[in-house]
Structure 1
Amino acid sequence: MFQEPDYIENLSLMLSEVLHDIGINERLMMRRRRGMMLYEAINNITYRLIDIDFTIYFLGSKSESTTISGLHSDNDALICLNDTNVIQEWSEWEHNKENYLMIQDENTTPGYCYLQLLRDDEPLPVTDMPNEYHITDSSERVLLKNTLKNGAIPGAVCNGPSNTIPGPPGFCDSDTVIAFHCKSWHQSASGWLERQGIGRWPTQEMRRYASSTGCFVVPTGSKVSEYPELEWRISTTLAERCLIFNLNITQIRCFVLLKMILKTFLNPEGEINVSSFMCKTVLLHCIENTEPSIWRENNLFSCLTYCLLELHSCVENNRCSHFIIKHNNLMAGQFTAETKHELLKNISDVLQNDSQLLLRIDIANLGQRLQVKLNIVPDGAYYYLSSIDIYEFYLTTEYLNSGYLISSSYTLILIYLHSTSIRTMKQFVGKLINFSVNSNRLEQTAYKFLAPFVFTTYGSALASSSIGENNQVLPESLVWLSAGLNLDISSSTFKLASIFYCTGDLEKAELILRHTEQQYDSYPVVIICSCWDMPPPTVYAECMRVFTEEREDNITHITAFCVRFMQKEINCVPRELQYCLDVHKVT
């Protein structure tokens, strides 16, 4: 811990270089964050189109880009049910909506609340208990129990406040939390808006944005609550995401190092005594209470030591105050006296030997890479992935995630359209176009991925209807089919070739298929299908040039999505293949 300044500066620079090489750098961080925000937009646009009234937010280390593969972070998502209105003031009550009043009294734990059910016809409390999800307390208030999370998502395993959804083969699990939104900033966090740290961080602009996001209530009670089944945790997660997005690269690297130390030395058996959220909170407090000038690359080691000292103080005092809701103690009831003693010993060991212990961290070969940088061992003594290999790994993962998400979103749209009429499909296309015109730039990118699927499906359904009547394809059908041709390498062109085949125009069908074959010869094509649980497809090295370009829609140049027909497209399917269609399912 007590090293010469020159040694500390050199160690900090070497540590920064290693973290850069394993993927904690500005370029990859910004790309991964934009990718997660794009996934969020694609999901929410899909839900909006098919009239599902909830909003999903991707949160945690994946969306923040504060993780690496060796930390095994799950996908964290919050699903906000928009049909429920949580209020703090009676003026926020909404007619014909399920309204709940947020209540905090002497029985609620700081940072938590009760939800009192209100009438939907006028702003008054409900007096009759409507179902088994509610309970009447001693004050005759009808309160919502937080057991809402149990069985909320089919196929998920309930784990605390979250529902863990197993990922497909080759992909990580997803931890999804059900929540309700309150449009106003929570009263218990109002003091944070006026709080000013040494470094004048967060800025006033960040605070204004944070307050505009309101807050969520999440179905989980405090470990020290007298009535844990009635409490709902108040979450300022969008504000916290804003704060992390505004950290500099040294602060991000410090956070990643804290999580590595946590996993390697403080929670080695997988037992979560100190959580990564606590480490994040400690980091934010440290940033608030220091000058911005100390958070630079050649001072990374000292910043890490400072955060570890603060973490030691939190454990020693059994108190880690939530960064925004000050009275919420994240460590309340978190560990026993015996566990606390063990944690303090482990943190002290890390502080006394931190420069040496860093060399023992196996995650992403950090220790080995640092030994090479410090000339402790010669270059080539260890084998590990190069920085280029790691960059390509993250880009490949991002590409596959995008492809499967787009394919899954299309499946949801097909299920929604399956039993609709052609007229309703036309209205759906109009709704999609209208939404895209009135959207921001990120949402417009998301629409570019989804719209060709819809255009191709609508054009095919029109063609099927006209083929059934007079074995002809109307010009309007070809217009919509043409609008969907930039979907990918082959799925839309296969549909078009199939339509010409069904009308007997074999020359056009052959021309389209030959052109598609040439496309396959230009690039190694990656086939993506979300219909079945299959291992991730092989992504060839030749695809990497496309990945490294800074345009998301370039993935359509190397991707072949599966070809799917609805029953209303039956006349566009060659008779030899029609046995594949199931009249009860989307195929």
Structure 2
Amino acid sequence: MFQEPDYRENLSLKLSEVLDDICVNERMVMRRRRNYMLQETISNMMHKFTGTNIIEYNLGSQSEGTTTRGLGSDLDILFCMHDYNIIEDWSEWEHDKKNYLMIHDENTTPGYCFLQLLRTDEPLPVTVILDEDHIIDRKGRILLKNTMINILLDGDSQQHGPSIALEGQHGSTDRDIVIALPCKTWPQSASGWLQRQGISRWPTQEMRRYAASTGCFVVPTGSKVSEYPELEWRISTSLPERCLMVNLNITEIRCYVLLKMILKSFLNPQKEINISSFMCKTVLLHCIQNTETSVWKDNNLYTCLTYCLLELHSCVQNECCSHFIIPENNVMAGQFTAETKHELSRNICELIQDDGQGLLSIDIDDFSQRLQVKLNMIPHGVYYFISSLKIYEHVLTNGYINIARRTSVCHGFILKKIHNQNLGIIKQFVGKLMTFSDNGKILHHAAFKFLSSFLFTTYGSILASSSIGVNNQLSPEALVLLSAGLNSDISSSRLKLASVFYSTGDIEKAELIVRHTEQQYYSNPVLPMCSCLKKVYTVTAEFKRVCGEQSEDCIKHITAFCVTFIQKEINCVPQELQYEMFRSTQDDMIQRHRNKDCWMDWAVVDSLPFLHFLQYKIYSHLQRHQDQQEALGKLIRTIITNEDLGHRDTALNILGQCMEQENKPQQALKCYLLSLQQRARNNAANFHICKLISGLLVNQ
């Protein structure tokens, strides 16, 4: 086959078919992009709500749609800190901002800069060192060190250059967090790119105008060949680069995916990053700019790939790969030794000269076997391949879980923000959120639908708690808000409303809601969702099927978030659960993580055990003893058999109190001891045990 005159066109078409089979196609690319842009918008809505001066950007292969299941690309999240103002011209200085002047001189590497601290009251340099994050250089300038990234490092993260690597929970993507500072103007070092145009008239003038309007970032990392690695900041044009990538056609995207498969299979097989995917992206963009647009078609894919490999080989040989937008920045500078260079050069040459034979050795996504079947080198049926439908379902499931997790995390951040605020401030926050969503942007409207339901429920529950504390009544305003938030997910907001009705003594309404919620929960493939803990959840085939068939709105019908009450909602919480708000002694507090464990001041319980616990309490009030015992049995079975409980310790604590009410102190004590096995510190079980033993001694 490889000796036929038209083998290149035939191979190109077969490569395109294989990539289509593993979901590198227009449909999947667009779905990936929407999922990650929606997550980005949800996060930024949260930042707007809480008043943090940060904007998040989802960048890299996941958000571009230029990856596959087998490549396992991370998600790059850039946190832009808008408290800072990075300037290249004194006219850009702003009053009361953290102003820094970009310094380019003989000591800075091309594409990098120093940041000189300026005064906040007038456009003049600061002359006195303020803290350990700054240093004075030989010219008397106060420069910012790039070690500010350390503020985000904790026990669960690792630093890689300018980014912090965070391992994703099961079903969600690993993340690289990058801290960035904004420069509103287009960098002078990239000014030539705005006028430069290649053979294909690509990038277009519209793309260049967009690039110029976005400005740039500086990120905290120095060049590998710098004499001052702790002082240098790299100039980043991430947003223009994202714009370029989302404007590639499907053949260009497939070529990039093939480059990354080759990179992982042959050039960096042991995960030693000699050549990065960013270098491959840079090579691709140069090749696109220097060829006619008509070249980049499916029947020419292999030729395009060969052209990119030739360009990559030239870069390795010269140890120079010019940044696409800032050409003076050599992104290969200091990347590999002479020995590594020789090995890389040899490997790339072999790939170029073997007329596609090397592609038959790529194991990622069963690429080799799929291609051999397409080329009739092996018969159909010899290998079992995951179908395109299953891959599509998997990718969408992963994307939807990420959206749900992002919603849960953002809701948690908002709860931390409003935990100690008065009602007036919370009302202002909700109004601010409404303004953010009402701007006509489709993604903003979609993000608002995900986040607002939880906020309406929380705000309504806070108002309800206040009115219950005054006259044991549910105020009309609270009921409106609680009703508006019912569709946050399949259970948590509904159970909150049921808990509110239970707390006001409206038992019939509480029973109706709980009964309906139970019916919905057991008739759908529900995935629990909690941002408090790292938890591996069981994702069923039925859950994946629903994700593959429906839009992201289905998340609300197949996820069950934890039910969370902050202390301002205490009058809406059954007494048995209120103890969870006061779980920590002074000694326990020392064992808590300052940021991650603030939920321990709240009452947080998985939806399913809380549902059955509410049933138990409701049927007790209604004197439906058989139903009450059935509910107790369901609660016990849920705790014993359900592997997906995130807060099993809390579920055991409320079960223990049910056992006390059943006059079964031994079983109650067993529940509390099992709870302590789940969480030895910061556990209300310690209080329950003392209370139980004290009661037994008094009775004796």
Q: Same fold (TM over 0.5)?
A: yes
What is the alpha-carbon distance in structure 2 between the residues aligned to residue 2 and residue 382 of structure 1? 23
Instruction: Describe how 1:331-342 pairs up with structure 2 within 5 A.
Output: 331-342=332-343
- CA deviations on 1:75-98 (whole Å, 9 max, x unpaired) are 211111110100011110000111
Whether the 8 Å CA contact 1:359–1:366 is kept in 2: the answer is yes
- SS of 1:86's partner is strand
Instruction: Decide whether aligned partners of structure 1 residues 142 and 564 sit closer, same or farther in structure 2, where only a CA change above 3 A counts.
Output: same
Aligned partner letter, 1:92: E
What is the alpha-carbon distance in structure 2 between the residues aligned to residue 354 and residue 575 of structure 1? 73
Instruction: Describe how 1:28-43 pairs up with structure 2 within 5 A.
Output: 28-43=28-43
Give the corresponding residue for 1:501: 502
Whether the 8 Å CA contact 2:580–2:601 is kept in 1: the answer is no
Shift of 1:520: 2.3
Shift of 1:3: 5.1
Q: Which stretch of structure 1 is more off in the superposition, 163-172 or 249-258? A: 163-172
Give the TM-score normalised by the residue count of structure 2: 0.81
Whether the 8 Å CA contact 1:528–1:537 is kept in 2: the answer is no
What is the alpha-carbon distance in structure 2 between the residues aligned to residue 78 and residue 85 of structure 1? 16
What is the alpha-carbon distance in structure 2 between the residues aligned to residue 297 and residue 511 of structure 1? 58
Give the corresponding residue for 1:108: 108
Instruction: Decide whether aligned partners of structure 1 residues 7 and 354 sit closer, same or farther in structure 2, where only a CA change above 3 A counts.
Output: closer
What is the alpha-carbon distance in structure 2 between the residues aligned to residue 3 and residue 287 of structure 1? 28
- SS of 1:177's partner is strand
Query: Are 1:302 and 2:314 counterparts?
Result: no
The alignment covers a number of residue pairs equal to 586
Whether the 8 Å CA contact 1:418–1:586 is kept in 2: the answer is no
- CA deviations on 1:14-69 (whole Å, 9 max, x unpaired) are 11010011111100100100111111111111122112211111111111111112
Give the corresponding residue for 1:249: 250
- CA deviations on 1:246-300 (whole Å, 9 max, x unpaired) are 0000000000100111111111121111111111001000000001111000110
What is the alpha-carbon distance in structure 2 between the residues aligned to residue 326 and residue 133 of structure 1? 30
What is the alpha-carbon distance in structure 1 between the residues aligned to residue 547 and residue 309 of structure 2? 42
Give the TM-score normalised by the residue count of structure 1: 0.97
Q: Which stretch of structure 1 is more off in the superposition, 530-539 or 310-319? A: 530-539
Instruction: Decide whether aligned partners of structure 1 residues 519 and 46 sit closer, same or farther in structure 2, where only a CA change above 3 A counts.
Output: same
Aligned partner letter, 2:213: S
Give the corresponding residue for 1:346: 347
Q: Which stretch of structure 1 is more off in the superposition, 93-102 or 560-569? A: 560-569
Shift of 1:506: 1.4
Shift of 1:546: 5.1
Q: Which stretch of structure 1 is more off in the superposition, 460-469 or 88-97? A: 460-469
The gaps in structure 1 that reach 5 residues or longer are none
Instruction: Describe how 1:195-206 pairs up with structure 2 within 5 A.
Output: 195-206=196-207
What is the alpha-carbon distance in structure 1 between the residues aligned to residue 566 and residue 538 of structure 2? 25
Shift of 1:439: 6.0
Whether the 8 Å CA contact 2:460–2:481 is kept in 1: the answer is yes
What is the alpha-carbon distance in structure 1 between the residues aligned to residue 543 and residue 277 of structure 2? 37
Aligned partner letter, 1:566: I
What is the alpha-carbon distance in structure 2 between the residues aligned to residue 543 and residue 170 of structure 1? 11
Instruction: Decide whether aligned partners of structure 1 residues 171 and 489 sit closer, same or farther in structure 2, where only a CA change above 3 A counts.
Output: closer
- CA deviations on 1:456-508 (whole Å, 9 max, x unpaired) are 11111111121122221111111111111121211111111111112222111
Aligned partner letter, 1:242: C
What is the alpha-carbon distance in structure 1 between the residues aligned to residue 556 and residue 495 of structure 2? 15
Shift of 1:533: 1.8
Give the corresponding residue for 1:461: 462
Give the corresponding residue for 2:620: none
Shift of 1:512: 1.3
Give the corresponding residue for 1:473: 474
What is the alpha-carbon distance in structure 2 between the residues aligned to residue 224 and residue 571 of structure 1? 61
What is the alpha-carbon distance in structure 1 between the residues aligned to residue 3 and residue 45 of structure 2? 54
Give the corresponding residue for 1:355: 356
What is the alpha-carbon distance in structure 2 between the residues aligned to residue 439 and residue 152 of structure 1? 34
- SS of 1:69's partner is coil
Aligned partner letter, 1:428: F
Aligned partner letter, 1:240: E
Give the corresponding residue for 1:46: 46
What is the alpha-carbon distance in structure 2 between the residues aligned to residue 146 and residue 580 of structure 1? 41
- CA deviations on 1:218-270 (whole Å, 9 max, x unpaired) are 11111112222211111101000000000000000000100111111111121
Shift of 1:317: 1.3
Whether the 8 Å CA contact 1:460–1:481 is kept in 2: the answer is yes
- CA deviations on 1:353-384 (whole Å, 9 max, x unpaired) are 24111111000000000011111111111122
Whether the 8 Å CA contact 1:415–1:586 is kept in 2: the answer is no
Whether the 8 Å CA contact 2:149–2:220 is kept in 1: the answer is yes
Q: Which stretch of structure 1 is more off in the superposition, 436-445 or 283-292? A: 436-445
Give the corresponding residue for 2:372: 371
- CA deviations on 1:542-574 (whole Å, 9 max, x unpaired) are 66245433x432321222211111112111112
Give the corresponding residue for 2:321: 320
- SS of 2:82's partner is strand
Query: Are 1:513 and 2:529 counterparts?
Result: no
Shift of 1:152: 3.2
Give the corresponding residue for 2:403: 402
What is the alpha-carbon distance in structure 2 between the residues aligned to residue 574 and residue 227 of structure 1? 60
What is the alpha-carbon distance in structure 2 between the residues aligned to residue 281 and residue 510 of structure 1? 61
Give the corresponding residue for 1:266: 267
Query: Are 1:417 and 2:418 counterparts?
Result: yes
Q: Which stretch of structure 1 is more off in the superposition, 325-334 or 295-304? A: 325-334
CA RMSD of aligned residues (A): 1.7
From 601, 605, 609, the equivalent of 1:585 is 601
Aligned partner letter, 2:182: H
Q: Which stretch of structure 1 is more off in the superposition, 26-35 or 416-425? A: 416-425
Query: Are 1:94 and 2:94 counterparts?
Result: yes
Give the corresponding residue for 1:65: 65
What is the alpha-carbon distance in structure 1 between the residues aligned to residue 471 and residue 91 of structure 2? 61
What is the alpha-carbon distance in structure 2 between the residues aligned to residue 337 and residue 241 of structure 1? 33
- SS of 1:501's partner is helix
What is the alpha-carbon distance in structure 2 between the residues aligned to residue 267 and residue 474 of structure 1? 63
What is the alpha-carbon distance in structure 2 between the residues aligned to residue 188 and residue 178 of structure 1? 21
Shift of 1:526: 2.1
Give the corresponding residue for 2:25: 25
Aligned partner letter, 2:23: G
Give the corresponding residue for 2:567: 567
Whether the 8 Å CA contact 1:64–1:241 is kept in 2: the answer is yes
What is the alpha-carbon distance in structure 1 between the residues aligned to residue 355 and residue 147 of structure 2? 43
- SS of 1:157's partner is strand
Shift of 1:2: 8.3
What is the alpha-carbon distance in structure 2 between the residues aligned to residue 467 and residue 143 of structure 1? 56
What is the alpha-carbon distance in structure 2 between the residues aligned to residue 5 and residue 402 of structure 1? 49
Give the corresponding residue for 2:453: 452
Q: Which stretch of structure 1 is more off in the superposition, 558-567 or 524-533? A: 524-533
What is the alpha-carbon distance in structure 2 between the residues aligned to residue 172 and residue 428 of structure 1? 30
Give the corresponding residue for 2:678: none
Runs of 4+ in 1 over 6 A off after TM superposition: none
RCO comparison, higher one (Cα < 8 Å, 6+): 1
- CA deviations on 1:372-418 (whole Å, 9 max, x unpaired) are 11111111111221111100100110111111111111111111111
Whether the 8 Å CA contact 2:182–2:218 is kept in 1: the answer is yes
Shift of 1:525: 2.0
Give the corresponding residue for 2:535: 534
Whether the 8 Å CA contact 2:460–2:478 is kept in 1: the answer is yes
- SS of 1:70's partner is coil
What is the alpha-carbon distance in structure 1 between the residues aligned to residue 151 and residue 6 of structure 2? 57
Q: Which stretch of structure 1 is more off in the superposition, 62-71 or 282-291? A: 62-71
